[in-house]
Amino acid sequence: MQTLIINIKELIQIREIGIQKISGSEMANLPLLKNAFLLIENDLIVDFGLMSVCPTLSNPNIIDATDKVVLPTWCDSHTHLVYAGNRVQEFVDRINGLSYEEIANRGGGILNSAQKLNETSEDEIYEQSKVRLEEVMKLGTGAIEIKSGYGLTVDGELKMLRVIKRLAENYPIKIKATFLGAHAFPKEYKDNHSGYIDLIINEMLPKIADENLADYIDAFLETGYFSVEETERIMEAGKKFGLIAKIHVNQFTAIDGIKACVKHEALSVDHLEIVTDEDIEALKNSITMPVALPSCSFFISIPYTPARKMIAAGLPLALATDYNPGTTPSGNMNFVVATACIKMKMTPEEAINAATINGAYAMGISNTHGSITVGKKANVIITKPIHSFYQLPYEFGSNLIESVIIEGNSINY
Ligand code: NIG
Ligand code: FE
């Protein structure tokens, strides 16, 4: 089946095959063609170029994109989209003056979601999660990473990862699964950290590997959660089971965690609301992608990742949602891109690079996703008629997406 998109006003994020990520001053460039066509065959991009050389085909499905912009779908490399229920009460408590930390200290936060998760059946969690997945696909997300981490028990963690697997089997979107058993210490292990880490390493990891349920391993490296040494144990254990690290770090405090993640060749370090000069030095010339989560900063009123400082230092940067019930109950990458521009002072070009090709890198799929490249997956957003791609972050509260194609499928849930 061939689909030919014609008269595209701007076809943006065109890249040669082999480009994995974009760093430093290169992030300011977003290669594009004006008045272009794009040809899709089955699930792949097979050709694109100027309308002046648009091929004549026998019987293609034609989409007229006059006055519209076409871009690759978003690559959301950090989410906790699988969860049970919600935490609206904590939202109201924060409005009334409590901090995220105070709520967590009274047994709310991650442990609150873990209790709900363990009380909810696998089928019910699947039903709740698929609604969220369908919503973000309609909002232009074409590849997504989803973490466990609200089980914190052997059964709970396996249940979450099985739901992620089922979503991956039932939807055309690329899903990468991350095991986040080290998200918080369950109450019964409050004073026995090594006991819980033993459970993760000796019980959870072998079962997860056995059922092939995860691609990556994560931990919440933070004051009051997992220390640098505890996280290193987890990263080392993950490696033995073939799971590369993607680590939550520097959300509230900088405790030299980034250096440890780089040493263990983490694929990404995520959050980075608090970043020191030493952290930036550690990331230079590494394979580790820094990932910013601006809707988390927005929702719980914490600092934004210092994007300008990091880009000026020559680093790459990716953007993701962090979709989760506690700190970011939104999976909208369009909002993330707009917030990165408005609050982190990233240019639209930088923000789009961060949300596409660099996001793809941060989930290990930049060979197949994240740009308009012949041979990559046919994952595109077609906008409504707009004046230029700048309008996407500029009109931050509007949905300017007309249609989404993921692996050649038109998304209409
Ligand atoms: O990425 N920081 C750790 N984990 C999540 C929030 C977890 C929660 O509050 O449920 C995050 O923000
Ligand atoms: Fe997170």
CA of 263 to the centre of ligand 2 (A): 21
Angle of helix 333-344 relative to helix 348-355, nearest 10 degrees? Answer: 140
Would you state the pLDDT for residue 360? 99
- Please report, in range form, the residues annotated as the binding site for 4-imidazolone-5-propanoate: 87, 150, 183, 251, 327
Q: Which residues on neighbouring strands pair with residue 222, listed in sequence order?
A: none
| Three-state secondary structure call for residue 375 | coil
* Within this chain, domains 2-72+372-410 and 75-362 share the same CATH topology: no
Would you state the pLDDT for residue 393? 98
Angle of helix 110-119 relative to helix 154-170, nearest 10 degrees? Answer: 80
Assembly ipTM: 0.98
Nearest CA to ligand 1 atom 8: 326
How far, in Å, CA of 239 to CA of 351, rounded? 31
Of 391, 366, 385, 388, the residue nearest 377 (C-alpha): 366
- Please report, in range form, the residues annotated as the binding site: 78, 80, 87, 150, 183, 248, 251, 322, 324, 326-327
- The top-level CATH class assigned to 2-72+372-410 is mainly beta
CA of 17 to the centre of ligand 1 (A): 35
Place of tokens 């990233």: 346
- The secondary structure of 180-222 as a DSSP string is EEETS--GGGTT-HHHHHHIIIIIIHHHHHHTT--SEEEEEES
- Please report, in range form, the residues annotated as the binding site for Zn(2+): 78, 80, 248, 322
How far, in Å, CA of 190 to CA of 225, rounded? 10
- The secondary structure of 114-178 as a DSSP string is HHHHHHS-HHHHHHHHHHHHHHHHHTTEEEEEEE--S--SHHHHHHHHHHHHHHHHHSSSEEEEE
Ligand closest to 327 (CA) is 1
Q: Is ligand 1 within 6 A of the CB of residue 108?
A: no
At residue 272's C-alpha, the angle toward residues 269 and 278, to 5°, is 85
CA of 66 to the centre of ligand 2 (A): 39
Of the residues 248, 302, 305, which should be mutated to test ligand 1's pocket, given the most ligand atoms within 8 Å of the CB? 248
How far, in Å, CA of 220 to CA of 226, rounded? 6
How far, in Å, CA of 30 to CA of 18, rounded? 16
CA of 271 to the centre of ligand 2 (A): 7
- The domain segmentation of the chain, as residue ranges, is 2-72+372-410, 75-362
Contact 297, 273 (CB under 8 A): yes
Question: Quick one: tokens of 365?
Answer: 């799929």
Long-range pairs for 279-286: beta carbons < 8 A, 24 or more residues apart: 279/250, 279/254, 280/309, 280/310, 280/313, 280/315, 282/258, 283/258, 283/310, 283/315, 284/313, 284/314, 284/315, 286/262
Nearest CA to ligand 1 atom 12: 327
Contact 183, 150 (CB under 8 A): yes
What per-residue string of b and e applies to 77-105 under the rule 16 or more CB within 10 Å gives b? bbbbbbbbbebeebbebbeeebebeebbe
Give the atom of ligand 1 at the shortest distance from the alpha carbon of 83.
10
Q: Is ligand 1 within 6 A of the CB of residue 251?
A: yes
- The secondary structure of 211-227 as a DSSP string is TT--SEEEEEESTTSB-
| Three-state secondary structure call for residue 347 | coil
Q: Is ligand 1 within 6 A of the CB of residue 113?
A: yes
Of the residues 77, 79, 80, which should be mutated to test ligand 1's pocket, given the most ligand atoms within 8 Å of the CB? 80
At residue 228's C-alpha, the angle toward residues 225 and 232, to 5°, is 110
Q: Is ligand 1 within 6 A of the CB of residue 248?
A: yes
Helix (H) or strand (E) holding 239: helix 228-240
CA of 321 to the centre of ligand 2 (A): 8
Q: Is ligand 1 within 6 A of the CB of residue 296?
A: yes
Of 105, 277, 304, the residue nearest 185 (C-alpha): 105
39: left (phi over 0), alpha (psi -120 to 50) or beta: beta
Give the atom of ligand 1 at the shortest distance from the alpha carbon of 300.
12
Would you state the pLDDT for residue 216? 98
Contact 147, 180 (CB under 8 A): yes
CATH fold of the domain at 75-362: TIM Barrel (3.20.20)
Virtual torsion, Cα 42, 48, 54, 55, nearest 10 deg: -40
Cα–chain-centroid distance for residue 92? Answer: 26
Would you state the pLDDT for residue 136? 98
Would you state the pLDDT for residue 107? 85
Q: Is ligand 1 within 6 A of the CB of residue 79?
A: no
Name the percent of the chain lying above pLDDT 90: 99
- Please report, in range form, the residues annotated as the binding site for N-formimidoyl-L-glutamate: 150, 324, 326
Give the atom of ligand 1 at the shortest distance from the alpha carbon of 109.
9
Quick: pLDDT tens for 17-70. 999 999 999 999 999 999 999 999 999 999 999 999 999 999 999 999 999 999
Of 44, 261, 234, the residue nearest 149 (C-alpha): 234
What is the value of pTM for the model shown?
A: 0.98
* End-to-end Cα separation, the chain, in angstroms: 21
- In this prediction, the residues of the chain whose per-residue pLDDT falls under 70 are none
How far, in Å, CA of 142 to CA of 40, rounded? 15
